[in-house]
Structure 1
Amino acid sequence: MMRVQMLGLCRFSYLGGRGFQVAHETLEERRAFLYHPERLARRWFWFETVTLPGLLAQTDPDFTLVLMTGPDLPEPWLSRLRELTEIMPQARLALVPPMEKHLDACLAAIAPHIEPGADVVGHFRQDDDDAVAVDYIRDARRDFAALRPLWERRRRLSCDYSRGLVLKAMRDGISVEPRMIYNAGAALTVYLPPDAQRSVMHFPHWKIGLSMPGVTMPGKAMFVRFLNHDNDSGAIGAGYRWEGDPAGWAGLLAERFRIDLEALDRAARDFGLPGADRPRWGL
């Protein structure tokens, strides 16, 4: 039986060059932006409230999540990431000094955690304010069995779970929109051989079809895309709505992602932030 390692990369306010749509003239300007105390407090809150619950509740706990940040991440956030690795068996902390080439930095973070004995590595990008459903790891590993003949053609393949929810945090709380999004980033798996010398970040999700064949699995809600004041881009991506009952969003978020919509809505109101000043934020 083939061994499919599931390996995620989560960048938590990593300080480095390139790789970001919010541009800064100098590394010091970027450090001041990323490490601003109020911003880091919000980022941790979203991470703890939106991202972590679904990961901690995975029905298949056999995965690795690399938490990538800089060695000078301010306290208490660096200590909190260390503490997370102690209580979450799947978490690994990668402290990567600032590197000009972002892809090299991402590969440096994940390379020590690739299983050389795996037959396939299912790479996934886990942004620190998005979420995957509690059965994402199970399905990504199980579905590969059906996709294997296609993967063997090029030894590269993407699998996109395209049905999800877009949450938007504004001054008046959280809005929920059901969306089918093509290769949203969240719940997108890139299957590569263990010796590929690539991370999931080497294949930009919005144009991944240039790099490999892909399969879309649209059946059930598998991701939450969370738009908030601190997004790097905040663009939703190509897609369209799917029909659902708004009265059921809270239940769906709780069941599939372990997200408490009422608590999230209350926090968004308390933060009192507008949408981000980005060209395509929320579009």
Structure 2
Amino acid sequence: MLGLCRFSYLGLRGFQTDHDSIEARRAYLYDPLRLARRWLWFTEVALPAWARQTDPDFTLVIMTGPDLPEPYLSRLRELTEQIPQLRLELVRPMQHHLPACRAAIAPHIDPEAEVIGHFRHDDDDAVAVDYIASARKDFNRVKGLWKVEQRLALDHSRGLILKAGAGGLTLTPRICHNMGVALTIFLAPDMAETALTYDHSKLPQWMPVVSITRPVMFLRSIHADSDSGDIGPGLPWEIEEGGTDRLLKQRFGLKRAALEKSLTGLS
């Protein structure tokens, strides 16, 4: 299980917010207030569940640029010492995004593996504490599909949409297919592709996709700094009153009161 998380990586393509030059993109990404907000989302929302995975056998590559401003570069180095599954890769600015992602992932591919479960992870989203264990278990149930084409996606599609703004936090239960978070793409180790190679909204063009609709497996954040602020297509699902707070704690290791305090009113 091998993932890639881009933390304010200074590249020109691969994002929905475009800039005409490296200088313009650097000014946007490295704005001190923006970096402070991104760090808060990363540490308060994304990291807790990665540190608590029930199956610790995974690697999550944190990809950023070698000129990421301090103190954030040093903080990322410290995190890799605290959480052994994290690896830091400093990738120079590149015109094309997919080669940059491949450069970050390539040193961590195990050529002896039969299959690698690639996943992407945004620095403001969360997966459930048993995501790695579930992806491995569910893949074994449908491995025959992977053997046919050497490509298979597992989409853990039930989760919560977290919206943050001046009015506070809202949590919306949602089933979202192929959204990106908690989505695993299984490939042979000698393939050049990664999870970022494929447009996750169009995955059936390239491979079989199996949707796993239970249990709750993702938390997707929408806020002012989101690369995409659209909730996207999906299906609602019902949850009892107060259930979202319990799910936050049980599935993601998060407490709503602490999130409210940290994230409400960020601008």
The equivalent residue for 1:22 is 17
Q: Deviations over 1:15-69 (max 9, x none)?
A: 0121011111211111000000010001011100100001100000000000000
Residue 202 of structure 1 aligns with which residue? 197
TM-score, reference length from structure 1: 0.93
Task: Give 2:69's aligned residue.
Answer: 74
- Residues 116-135 of structure 1, C-alpha deviation per residue, up to 9 Å, x if partnerless? 00000000111100000000
Q: Which residue of 1 aligns with 2:35?
A: 40
Write the distance in 2 (CA, Å) between the matches of 1:225 and 1:236. Answer: 9
What residue is the counterpart of 1:50 in the other structure?
Answer: 45
Q: Shift in Å at residue 147 of structure 1?
A: 1.1
CA–CA distance in structure 2, aligned partners of residues 13 and 108 of structure 1: 16
Q: Determine if contact 1:173/1:266 at 8 Å carries over to the other structure.
A: no
Unaligned residue ranges in structure 2 (runs of 5+): none
Q: Which amino acid aligns with 1:34?
A: L
Partner Cα separation in structure 1 for residue 200 and residue 231 of structure 2 = 12
Moved more, 37-46 or 17-26: 17-26
Q: Secondary structure at the match of 1:194?
A: coil
Structure 2 match to 1:190: 185
Name the aligned partner's letter for residue 141 of structure 1. R
Amino acid in structure 2 at the alignment position of 1:263: A
Q: Distance in 1 between matches of 2:264 and 2:186?
A: 40
Contact 1:167 1:176 in 2 (8 A): yes
Q: Which whole-Å CA distance do the structure 1 matches of 2:3 and 2:149 have between them? A: 22
Secondary structure at the residue paired with 1:32? helix
Q: 1:25 to 1:246 in 2, by over 3 A?
A: farther
Kept in 1: contact 2:66–2:91 (CA 8 A): yes
Contact 1:184 1:236 in 2 (8 A): no
**Deviation readout 1:172-222 (Å, 9 max, x if unpaired):** 110010000011111000000000111100011111111111100001100
The alpha carbon displacement at 1:246 in A equals 3.7
Q: Distance in 2 between matches of 1:266 and 1:168?
A: 14
Q: CA RMSD in A?
A: 0.9
What SS is found at the alignment partner of 2:142?
Answer: helix
Q: Distance in 2 between matches of 1:79 and 1:197?
A: 30
Would you say the 8 A contact 2:11–2:94 is kept in 1?
yes
Deviation at 1:73, TM superposition (A): 0.2
Choose the corresponding residue for 2:87, options 71, 75, 92. Answer: 92
Return the offset for 1:249. 1.1
Q: Which residue of 1 aligns with 2:159?
A: 164
Unaligned ranges ≥5, structure 1: 1-5, 274-283
* 1:270 Cα deviation from its structure 2 partner: 4.2
Separation (CA, whole Å) in 1 of partners of 2:62 and 2:263? 25
Q: Is the CA contact 1:179–1:241 (under 8 Å) kept in the aligned structure 2? A: yes
Q: 1:137 — aligned with what?
A: 132
User: How far apart in 2 are the matches of 1:83 and 1:165?
Assistant: 30
Q: Which residue of 2 aligns with 1:12?
A: 7
Q: Aligned AA for 1:134? A: V
CA contact (8 A) 1:14 1:69 kept: yes
Aligned length in residues: 267
TM superposition score normalised by structure 2: 0.98
Q: 1:219 aligns with which of 214, 218, 221?
A: 214
Matches within 5 A, 1:114-133: 114-133=109-128
- What's the counterpart of residue 236 of structure 1? 231
